[in-house]
């Protein structure tokens, strides 16, 4: 699972794409401000118009369930992944994903110590 913070209050979920596929169908789910209007405290918290503690809002959100969400099907672009190269560190003899000739610890030690 990968999480990317795009500054939005939504989530996009999709299955793992088969090898070589560039795009896959996903579902984008949002907490819908039109639907939260039926729950005044939740709506005020969501739009940040009233200061409410999470402890007060979470039970309302759980009780509302799927009634406050909207969703739509979306196409999700599948990034091309480069093959990882595994190497043995010459200093500690431990395996690591190669980005330089040493593992991250020894690269850090060479640069900053």
What the block records as the tokens of 108 is 């850090």
With contact defined as beta carbons under 8 Å apart, do 68 and 45 qualify?
A: no
State the pTM of this model. Answer: 0.63
Q: What does each C-alpha distance from 73 to 25, 30, 65 come to in angstroms?
A: 7, 12, 20
Quote the mean pLDDT of the chain. 87
pLDDT tens readout for residues 91-113: 888 888 877 666 777 777 767 76
The SS3 call for residue 35 is helix
Any idea which residue has 């401000």 for tokens? 33
């Amino acid at each position: 699972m990968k999480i990317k913070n795009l500054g939005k209050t939504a989530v996009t979920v999709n299955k793992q794409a088969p090898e070589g596929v560039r795009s896959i169908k996903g579902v984008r789910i949002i907490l819908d401000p039109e639907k939260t209007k039926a729950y005044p405290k939740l709506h005020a918290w969501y739009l940040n118009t009233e200061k409410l503690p999470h402890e007060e809002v979470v039970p309302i959100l759980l009780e509302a369930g799927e009634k406050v969400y909207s969703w739509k099907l979306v196409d999700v672009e599948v990034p091309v992944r480069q093959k990882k190269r595994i190497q043995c560190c010459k200093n500690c003899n431990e395996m690591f994903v190669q980005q330089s000739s040493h593992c991250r610890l020894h690269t850090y030690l060479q640069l900053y110590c």
